[in-house]
Amino acid sequence: MGIELRHFAALAAVASERSFHRAADRLGYVQSAVSRQIAFLEELTGARLIERKAGPKPVRLTEAGEVLLGHANDILASIEMAKTDLGHLDAGRAGEVRVGFFPGVPTQILLATLVRFEERFPRVEIATCEAVTDTPLFDLLRDGGVDLAFAHLPPEPGPFSFWELLRVPWCLLVSADSELAARPEPPAPAEIAALRLIGPKSARADPWAGSRLAAEAGPHEITFRSDLPSTVQALVGAGLGAAVVPALSVNEDDPLVAAIPLGDLVPPLSVGIAWLSHRRLTGAVEQLRDALHDVCATLAEHEVAGGAAAAAPATW
């Protein structure tokens, strides 16, 4: 149709400045060039777009002009977004990455990653969003509120791709003065089921679901429920119960609790990072995702409470 971005830019400038002369100054044109571009749009659309008045009075858009301006602004905004995305291709050395996480294992992974990432990519801004569980983080991914989100795997059904980062063993967290803490061997499943237990509120990270522990322990009663590791540990330390928790979520400096490895009684917790499948990741987002994988590989090399965390291969 012969339309170029300069035609829409001229219409937007006239609408904003309410003057052909000021619009020309803003765009770096002569006034006649702006007039020609508006005339071209009017000829193409067959509608008068600008109310022209004699003298120095401000000009304004007609109803048809307002309608076309709305479409023009959408196109101009898309071009600006495209320019921004192209800028982010700068090898990931600049830009912003928005990460959603929840307390526990992701907190340790994210903190260690941010320290390393800041040293290598000081121009990349990291914006974090914390939720109690991963469930609201999937909504943020869908809405574009975050670029990456930590998740228990498998992720929720939806348009998500994911990368498995770490497999974390579980442990039984008991008060430090518990008789179980002094034993050389872990308690039997039936002994665990007989304890006053603190469990998660979210079913997405329930260690009892489908585990050998549940099969061999039989019925068990949950006295308290919380998805916050700090709350669970405080309850255990106060002697209000025991809890089956991911080993990496335990604060080992707390003298009021003891962590007992559970071995293969409970399958390792799979922790990963997720993003929208149909969204192209910018260089900065990919750099942070790679840094998360590197940190998890390092974590897997060190013994942690309850056993050793295993690095996981990328899963697409």
CATH architecture of the domain with residue range 5-88: Orthogonal Bundle (1.10)
Q: Residue 231 carries which side chain, given as an amino acid letter?
A: T
Task: Output the tens digit of pLDDT for each of the chain's 316 residues.
Answer: 678 889 999 999 999 999 999 999 999 999 999 999 999 999 998 999 998 776 677 889 999 999 999 998 888 888 887 777 676 556 667 788 999 999 999 998 999 999 999 998 888 999 999 999 999 999 999 989 999 999 999 998 989 999 999 999 999 999 999 999 999 888 999 999 999 999 999 988 899 888 899 899 888 889 999 999 999 999 999 999 999 999 999 999 999 999 999 999 999 999 999 999 988 888 889 999 999 999 998 887 764 433 455 555 443 3
Q: Which residues contact 100 (CB under 8 A, 6 or more apart)?
A: 128, 129, 130, 131, 137, 140, 141, 145, 146, 148, 149, 150
In CATH terms, is domain 95-168+269-311 a member of 3.40.50.720? no
pLDDT for 13: 92
Task: Please state the three-class secondary structure of 96-144 as a single string.
Answer: EEEEEECCCHHHHHHHHHHHHHHHHCCCEEEEEEECCCCHHHHHHHHHC
Domains 5-88 and 95-168+269-311 share a fold: no
pLDDT for 303: 47
Q: Residue 247 carries which side chain, given as an amino acid letter?
A: A
Supply the mean pLDDT for the chain.
88
Backbone angles phi, psi at 164, to 5 degrees: -75, 130
pLDDT for 301: 72
pLDDT for 105: 92
pLDDT for 52: 79
Q: Which residues contact 72 (CB under 8 A, 6 or more apart)?
A: 8, 11, 12
pTM tops 0.85, yes or no: no
Tokens of 213: 């522990």
Tokens of 16: 């904003």
**Domain 170-265, CATH homologous superfamily name and number:** Periplasmic binding protein-like II (3.40.190.10)
pLDDT for 262: 93
pLDDT for 315: 39
pLDDT for 305: 38
Burial readout 145-180 (b: 16 or more C-beta within 10 A, e: otherwise) = ebbbbbbbbebbeeebebbbbbbbbbbbbbbeebeb
Tokens of 125: 């801004």
Tokens of 113: 């990653």
Residue spans of the domains in the chain: they are 5-88, 95-168+269-311, 170-265
pLDDT tens-digit readout, 225-281: 999 999 999 999 999 999 999 999 999 999 999 999 999 999 999 999 999 998 888
